[in-house]
Amino acid sequence: MRFNRRGFTSGLAASLAAPFVARAQEAWPRGRTIKIVVPFPPGGATDVIARIVADKLARMWGVAVIVENKAGAGGNIGNEQVARAEPNGDTILMTSPGMATNPFLYEKINYDPIGEFTHVSLVALVPNILVMNPKLPFRNVADIVAFARANPGKLTYASSGVGTTIHLSGELFKFVTKTDILHVPYRGSAPALTDLMGGQTDIMFDNISSALPQVKSGALKGLAITTAKRSPFVPDLPPVADTLPGFDVSSWFGFSVPRKTPEAIVAKLAADTKTALADPDVRARLEGLAAEPVGSTPAEFTAFVQRETDVWGKVIREGKIRAE
């Protein structure tokens, strides 16, 4: 038998290196600086939720966990940055609905939402509320559907901009009811709410955190919650799904990493995220934003992102919606 010195030495090197690689993965994130990329500006829900969880993880791990805002193109710039990052656990994306909607809203994106990411854990859900100007006579969702069907194009709904969950909630409503309701987009939720309260528009599927104070004050009337089940934040509001079965919309936030991140790191990040979200202080801070803490496995979150992609792909194609 001929002795292959080159093969032996390379094999020996690999076998010697393997324990060190395994130990490095097991040690993660010891001695590292972890970066969570938020693909939106500071101050929004994505940013605030990321910072709450980052603070807890930093204390759990004993390392620096920083939040970097990389805004632009509806989240595409930050998403692409993480897709191209070294897959070593040091760069995490705070994923949001754009991961599922942007492939259909934009003519071209420079990353694959499924193929270039490992989706680690669903962190939190934030529902929307169907609200209306209180001067209108509608008592419930069925009244709105009946009016819209009888009066095509006369009902208007406001949104915080094209492609947001507030906008797409309205498009899904139109899609499942087969109605013609005029979309009136604004640059942000605040001006949309102002015009809704002033009677310039009729209804809106606004984020619960901004709409709820207006409902409580009487400036707006809340009709329904967009999640499939009642929300503990507004237990008196029925789900839209009570009238339109299958209707289920939330703003959602989770952790994703570059696809080739080692499984051991992915598993630890998922488990530690779930632990962080179970902390009473973290839960209280998230619930103060009307955000429901979740914590899921990578398989569960991947399936969730795929379902969101399937649902919104149909709605966006049907509505011929394009991001501005």
pLDDT tens figures, 79-138? 999 999 999 999 999 999 999 999 999 999 999 998 999 999 999 999 999 999 999 999
Contact between 203 and 157 under an 8 Å Cβ cutoff? The reply is yes
Domain segments of the chain as ranges: 32-126+250-319, 127-242
**CA separation for the pair 188, 164 (Å, rounded):** 10
The CATH classification number of 127-242 equals 3.40.190.10
Q: Closest Cα to residue 316, out of 107, 132, 65, 112?
A: 107
Q: Given this chain, do its domains 32-126+250-319 and 127-242 carry the same CATH topology?
A: yes
The CATH classification number of 32-126+250-319 equals 3.40.190.150
Q: Closest Cα to residue 77, out of 25, 121, 38, 36?
A: 38
Task: Check residue 79 and give left, alpha or beta (phi > 0: left; psi -120 to 50: alpha).
Answer: alpha
pLDDT tens per residue, range 10-42: 444 444 444 444 444 558 999 999 999 999 989
- Total-model pTM: 0.84
Residue 185: the pLDDT is 93
DSSP label at residue 244: S
**CA separation for the pair 290, 110 (Å, rounded):** 33
pLDDT tens per residue, range 192-220: 999 999 999 999 999 898 899 999 999 99
